[in-house]
Chain A
Amino acid sequence: MKKHVKKIEYTVRGALGLCALVTLITTVGIIAVLSSETIPFFKEVPITDFLFGTRWAPLLEPKSFGVLPLVIGTGMIMVGSAFIALPVGITTAVYLSEFSSQRMRSIIKPVLEVLAGIPTIVYGYFALTFITPLLKTILPQTEIFNATSGAIVVGIMVLPMVASLCDDAFQSVPKALKEGGYALGATSYEVIGQVIVPYSASRILAAFILALSRAIGETMAVTLAAGANARFAFDPLQSVQTMTAYIVQVSLGDTPQGGIEYQTCFAVGSLLFLITLAMNVAGQSILFKYRRGK
């Protein structure tokens, strides 16, 4: 009997362990797949041309592989979305954790969850058919595909993440500390601004980093709303192309496997992966420190 149980124990442990291995294999797989196409790409195109070139035209003659226009497109979406997600997200968190009644909380929380759950394609549709026409009535020179519209919806998409991470951060501020502030006759404005926010500063930073990393990886909303025009320019009312949107553009076409055009997807994907990975590691390690500190 005992031997029998032991046998099952080992089998179960092994089976569960194998499942847990899948995530490790996934990481290895991602790195292997990206590099398997990126390394040959860099044999043809010098890495400096890729990183610092200002013209992106891999599908047109004369071909050119400067990734900066895509990086700028992505950066514009990220900065624009930050203008919405960061201030609104953090004030939402302030409201939820410091001012809101239980009833308001029970309304706002599900609304944020729904906003976070709406598929990116839906936001793309919303940007294209609602926000862009709205922008056009205010600023007539707005193009049909434009960075602003994409940035606005990406901002809305990542807002719930900022709000919920900041809310967690504020909730973890010791009550005694807030009371210390109020007992000196401070207003809530002063306690929030000078005690609560500084205390949670690094976790707020982590929230911002993680949210912006999500914004960078955003695909369908920007593909639909911001267009497919890789330019080395900074006009937010014009069409741009993000790194993600480029990969979609190539995938929708009939690019043969093995060609240089096909490899560009992986080179751009590698860059995207490295940028978001760096940001995620930075953000997570801040949060990890606090989780252990508890």
Chain B
Amino acid sequence: MEGFSGRKRKEKIFKIACFGLTFLSVIILIVLLYHIGQAGSKYLSFKFLDSWPSRFPHKAGIKAGIWGTLWLISLTALISVPIGIFSALFLEEYKIPGKLGKFVEINVANLAGVPSIVYGLLGLTIFVRFLGLDRSLLSGALTLSLLILPVIIVSSREAIKSVPDAIRFGAYALGASRYQVVFWHVLPIALPGILTGVILALSRAIGETAPLIIVGALTYISYTPESIMDEFTVLPLQIYNWASRPQEEFHYLAAGGIIVLLGVMLSMNFIAVVIRQKASKKVKI
């Protein structure tokens, strides 16, 4: 018969194990950031930010990557954010009835799980080849837009869902039409939540590499884009290029690029968290 002390001991060991394994994530994150910080600090300088890629590590920089990423993300945001929010509004406020509505919902959830590389194949065939947009920023942005659309829709729907019905009924009771209710009352209240989701989705898009390789973004580019039909490179692609070379010096360059990339992403995450916290204090019915 297992006594109390034995069971207590088991409980204690279990608790410690749970804590230890949970804390593992913190340790991993610290090790990862430290490792990258150490390797990347060697080349991180203003010159690094303002130079073109080069065969010589000490001359190489990420100017093309930064500009490419900025162009690509802005363009992606312009395409995906309105479509995403409008889709979410339609799905949540206009509710498609019956089987079709359920299918659309399941479809969005499944699209969010489709590997990003498959979106690359889609973009390559449709945008690059079929529509003849070539390896342009526009092709890349359209591809990324389709990729993050499900993410934006899911998080926007959550935000819209959390708007209390009382507000809708209040507006309807004053004789408002549905679009007036949706755009004048629901959207403004849901907006902080939507923004949080949008920023997180875009920060995910910034780190995307695989679909852009498939779509044909280049790694060696020594100019900044001037139109959406220009060829381009992005930061993660530049990092990939350097990391995949055998020479250690290039790994330091890759780490430098990663620091910049993570810096951008973490500040976007931070903004999203701030918006979320600010919004959670407002509007509670």
Contact = CB atoms under 8 A, between A and B. Distances in A.
B42 to A, nearest CB: 13
Interface stretch (A24-32, A39-47, A59-67, A172-180): A24-32
B229 interface: no
Interface in A10-36: 12-13, 15-17, 19-20, 22-24, 26-27, 29-30, 33-34, 36
B43 to A, nearest CB: 14
A190 B14 CA distance: 10
Interface stretch (B3-11, B45-53, B55-63, B164-172): B3-11
Interface stretch (A75-83, A213-221, A230-238): A213-221
What is the interface of chain A mostly: helix, strand, loop, or mixed? helix
B146 interface: yes
B25 interface: yes
B35 A129 contact: yes
A260 interface: no
A98 to B, nearest CB: 8
Q: How large is the interface on A (under 10, 10 to 19, 20 to 34, 35 or more residues)?
A: 35 or more
B269 A117 contact: yes
A95 B106 contact: no
B122 A99 contact: no
Contacts of A187: 7-8, 10-11
B133 interface: no
A91 B7 contact: no
A244 B210 contact: yes
A233 B178 CA distance: 61
Interface in B13-72: 14-15, 17-19, 21-22, 24-26, 28-29, 31-32, 35-36, 39
A125 B90 contact: no
A97 to B, nearest CB: 10
A266 B125 CA distance: 10
A277 B106 CA distance: 11
B111 A23 contact: yes
Given A30-B114, A91-B22, A217-B114, A251 B94 contact: no
B86 A117 contact: no
Nearest to A160: B25
B140 interface: no
Interface string A104-125: 0001101111110111111011
B116 A217 contact: yes
B15 A188 contact: yes
Contacts of A171: none
Interface stretch (A49-57, A194-202, A280-288): A280-288
B91 A269 contact: no
Given A119-B207, A120-B209, A266 B18 contact: no
Interface in B147-193: 149-150, 153, 177-180, 182-183
B269 A113 contact: yes
Contact of B21 (A87, A113, A223): A87
Nearest to A19: B86
Contacts of B15: 99, 188-189
B14 A12 contact: no
B198 interface: no
A88 interface: yes
Interface of A: 5-6, 8-9, 12-13, 15-17, 19-20, 22-24, 26-27, 29-30, 33-34, 36-37, 87-88, 91-92, 94-96, 99-100, 107-108, 110-115, 117-122, 124-126, 128-130, 156, 159-160, 163, 187-190, 192, 210, 213-214, 216-220, 223-224, 244, 247-248, 251-252, 257, 265-266, 269, 272-273, 276-277, 279-281, 283-285, 288
9 contacts: A24-B104, A33-B122, A33-B126, A99-B15, A114-B266, A125-B239, A129-B251, A220-B240, A266-B121
